[in-house]
Structure 1
Amino acid sequence: MEDPPIDLSFALLCLFFTGYQLENPLALKFTTLSYQVPESDPPVYVHGPDDVYFVAFWVIAFTFIRAFAMEYIFKALARYNRITTPDKTQRFCEQCWSVLYYSASWSLGMYIMYHSDYWLDTRHFWIGYPHKQLSGLFKFYYLSQIGFWIQQIFVLHVEKRRRDYVEMFVHHILTNTLLIASYYTNFVRIGHAVLCIMDVADIFLCSAKAFRYIQMQALCDVLFGLFVIVWFATRHGLFLVIGHSVMTEPEQYNPYLWDPDNGIYYTHEVRYMFIGLMGLLQVVLLIWAYFIVKVLYRVLTGNNAHDNRSDSEDISEPETVAKKVA
């Protein structure tokens, strides 16, 4: 293996799994969920400071999985489809990885939500708070998602700098802050709902871009059209439904109280923090929505848009959207 991210992350993963087999206490913190409630059957968990080890494990694991998949799977797929230039190959591989990850994370997230109390009922974001006890599957999902989004900040800085670098960086910081804060304060149901509505649009966009690179323009156009519909339905529709719930529903079911010993962190300040984080995230989404509408107008009027990230390529939509939305 010649790729440093693959080499280093693989070496660390081997070290962790060796320690796991030897039942090393530190390695077990990295590779297994901590804080199982004693005698719970099926096992349920609460949160604690050692969860940072499991998150760190998944930062490293996603670094390895992504680099390995791009180098040894998606590059071969690019060659098979006669993509030869380095820039196009790299971008094609990035889109394939994104399709794979977002499809898996969205499917798992929706499976968990479908079997939850708050499926199609925002009242249960708040009923029964604090939601301290989590199933093993939910805790794995949530902590691995935090690991992924932390790893995305690393990816943003190692890849070729994007024109929308500032928006992407702000988006990643807001997402990580929202996830970590909701986990710490036991408002994980809000974070879970936001993750599910965010993931699905990226599946369509990244698929459209991947098919564009292999010259399947008709399928690309269909997926791009679906992406636009899903984007506005989820990120400017369902996201606002969740935001409305945060602003109006909590005090119907919970008094304002700061009681960390019992896992309760519901105060005016905490509520306004979440409203602020979601509001800032919506601002970033609206900036991207402006460019989506602009690109859609150009496409409908028969004009192509140019992706200025590469002087050697002339990629029409939806790749232009990729520099604004990813």
Structure 2
Amino acid sequence: MAGILAWFWNERFWLPHNVTWADLKNTDEATFPQAEDLYLACPLAFCIFMIRLVFERFIARPCAMGLKIQANGPQKAQPNAILEKVFTAITKHPDEKRLEGLSKQLDWDVRTIQRWFRQRRNQEKPSTLARFCESMWRFTFYLYIFTYGVRFLKKTPWLWNTKECWYNYPYQPLTVDIHYYYILELSFYLSLLFSQFTDIRRKDFLIMFLHHVATISLITFSYVNNMARVGTLVMCLHDAADVLIEAAKMANYAKCQILCNLLFAMFAILFISSRLGVYPVWILNTTLFESWEIVGPYPSWWVFNLLLILLQLLHSFWSYLIVKTACRAISKGKVSKDDRSDIESSSDEDDSPPPNQKHHSSSTNGTNKNHGTNGYLTGAPYPDEH
């Protein structure tokens, strides 16, 4: 075990040339980031998750009820043992051949069976109230951490001159503000990583999972090798747009369409300008070029920049989806769908219970392809998704 740890914490990988871990041990004069500091993030992530449950129950839920957001979920499908067995044991999305077989077996028309499966799938989806509570929690945290980051960073020299991130590196002392900022961000993203499996499932589940893993890796990486200064810039930049998208979702759930459209437009502008403009020009420029000039490359430097570039690729992918959503919104007059979610809509369909007698009708699927959601990070803000 000792050999594995020695290999993992190899100074030649983690630190610049001629720097050892002994040089970064805490002293009476200065405190430096230590890997064991990050152990605190795991229990804190659990605490954040518990705080979220309390927040959603006693703060977000009353706010939602005050806005008259419905607590009930989608209409339940009529009980049917045969269809339920197919749904749970075989497929949730029967093909045309199976639909026709079930139609003959039950003496129902194909359209009715399609509607039953659609209702049954929607039955497992969270209610609008649950979505609102989830978005309000994220909005509250992002607003707090972004406000904290701005108030902290505006007093630092590296906000105004990014070369300050690398002067005297890696012998830059760890301040209380940086330590608090890092531990809180890491704990939050750890809680997101695990709660993603219990939250509303989205089309971009794997992309978001990759995003959370990359973010956690970047936070951990930059803390361990004391790239904390540039790390604070990355975190603050990313939190800015997240505040607006969660606000847009809440406006949508409250059926404030004009406010939803306005907030989404602000989000789109801020996201694209910050992630495709400020991020590469400001962040990648200093990590790739200014650090090369002042410090020089070393193995973990390459890995750190590779993670930052991976993040940039995700930014480009999401920007494409946002532009696609914006174009659709302009053509229809309102924000209605973002391709980053797989949540099905039920409000725009005829969800009447299946009849007892077969009716002759078209066998085409009645799903309206114009409904949908915005699944950025965690939620779906558009009113016609339910």
**Distance across 2 between alignment mates of 1:49 and 1:125:** 20
Q: Report percent identity of matched pairs.
A: 26
Name the residue aligned to 2:375.
322
Q: Which residue of 2 aligns with 1:60?
A: 46
TM-score normalised by length of structure 2: 0.67
Alignment of 1:110-129 (within 5 A): 110-129=150-169
> Structure 1 residues 198-207 or 300-309, which shifts more?
300-309
State the match for 1:4 in structure 2: none
Provide the TM-score with structure 1 as the length reference.
0.78
Distance 1:229 1:311, change over 3 A: closer
Name which one, 1 or 2, has greater alpha-carbon Rg: 2
More helix by share: 1
> 145, 170, 177: which one pairs with 1:137?
177
- Following the alignment from structure 1 to structure 2, what is the Cα–Cα distance between the partners of residues 127 and 322? 40
Distance (Å, rounded) in 2 between the aligned partners of 1:142 and 1:107: 14
Matched, 1:225 2:279: no
Question: 1:109–1:141: 8 Å Cα contact kept in structure 2?
Answer: yes
1:245 to 282, 286, 306: 286
Which residue in 1 is equivalent to 2:308?
278
Q: What is the SS of the residue equivalent to 1:50?
A: helix
Question: What's the RMSD between the two structures over aligned residues?
Answer: 2.5
Q: 1:293 aligns with which of 299, 323, 329?
A: 323
1:36 CA displacement: 7.0
Q: Contact 2:61/2:133 (CA < 8 Å) preserved in 1?
A: yes
* 1:185 maps onto 2:215 in alignment: no
Indicate conservation of the 8 Å contact 2:251/2:257, yes or no: yes
- Alignment match, 1:236: 276
Q: Is the 8 A contact 1:291 1:324 kept in 2?
A: no
Shift of 1:37: 4.8
| Equivalent pair of 1:204/1:226 in contact (CA under 8 Å) | yes
How far off is 1:318 after superposition? 11
Amino acid at match of 1:279: I
Given that 1:163 and 1:323 are in contact with CA atoms closer than 8 Å, whether structure 2 keeps it comes out as no
Counterpart CA distance in 2 for 1:175 and 1:217 is 32
Q: Where does residue 305 of structure 1 map in the other structure? A: 336
Q: Secondary structure at the match of 2:326?
A: helix
| Aligned position for 1:199 | 239
1:220 Cα deviation after fit? 1.5
Q: Distance in 1 between matches of 2:371 and 2:62?
A: 23
Deviation at 1:45, TM superposition (A): 3.4
Summarize the Cα distance change of 1:227–1:112 in structure 2 as closer, same or farther, 3 Å threshold: same
Q: Give yes or no for contact 1:95–1:206 (8 Å, CA) kept in 2.
A: yes
Between the aligned partners of 2:193 and 2:138, the Cα distance in structure 1 is 15
Closer/same/farther in 2, CA of residues 309 and 45 from structure 1, 3 Å limit: same
Instruction: Return the offset for 1:230.
Output: 0.6
Shift in Å, 1:235: 1.1
Q: Count the aligned residue pairs.
A: 277
Letter in 2 for 1:251: W
Letter of the structure 1 residue corresponding to residue 50 of structure 2: F
When residues 190 and 285 of structure 1 are mapped into structure 2, their CA distance, relative to the original with a 3 A threshold, is same
Q: Which residue of 41, 62, 68 corresponds with 1:76?
A: 62
Stretches of structure 2 that go unaligned for 5 or more consecutive residues are: 1-24, 74-126, 349-367, 380-386
Give how far 1:305 is off.
3.5
Change (3 A) 1:131 1:299: farther
Counterparts of 1:87-166 in structure 2, within 5 Å, are 87-166=127-206
Matches within 5 A, 1:162-173: 162-173=202-213
2:9 corresponds in structure 1 to none
Q: Which runs of 5+ in 1 are unaligned?
A: 1-34, 257-266
CA–CA distance in structure 1, aligned partners of residues 64 and 27 of structure 2: 47
Q: Give 1:49 deviation, angstroms.
A: 3.9
The residue type paired with residue 375 of structure 2 is A
Specify whether residues 319 and 285 from structure 1 end up closer, same or farther in structure 2 by C-alpha distance, changes over 3 A only: farther
C-alpha distance in 1, partners of 2:255/2:272?
A: 27
Out of 299-308 and 141-150, give the one that drifted further: 299-308
Q: Counterparts of 1:77 and 1:317 in 2: how far apart (Å)? A: 29
User: Structure 1 residue 50: deviation in Å?
Assistant: 3.1
CA contact (8 A) 1:118 1:125 kept: yes
- Indicate the structure whose relative CO is greater, using CA pairs within 8 Å and at least 6 residues apart: 2
Using the TM superposition, give the Cα deviation of residue 139 of structure 1 relative to its aligned residue in structure 2, in angstroms.
0.6
Q: In terms of mean alpha carbon deviation, does 191-200 or 305-314 score higher?
A: 305-314
Report SS of the residue matched to 2:343. Answer: coil
Q: For 1:185-216, what per-residue CA distance to the aligned partner results, in whole angstroms no more than 9, with x for missing partners?
A: 10011211110110010111110110111122
- SS state at 1:106 partner: helix
Deviation at 1:319, TM superposition (A): 7.1
Letter in 1 for 2:38: V
Letter in 2 for 1:321: N
User: Which residue identity does 2:344 align to in structure 1?
Assistant: S
Q: For 2:154 and 2:347, how far apart are their aligned partners in 1?
A: 43
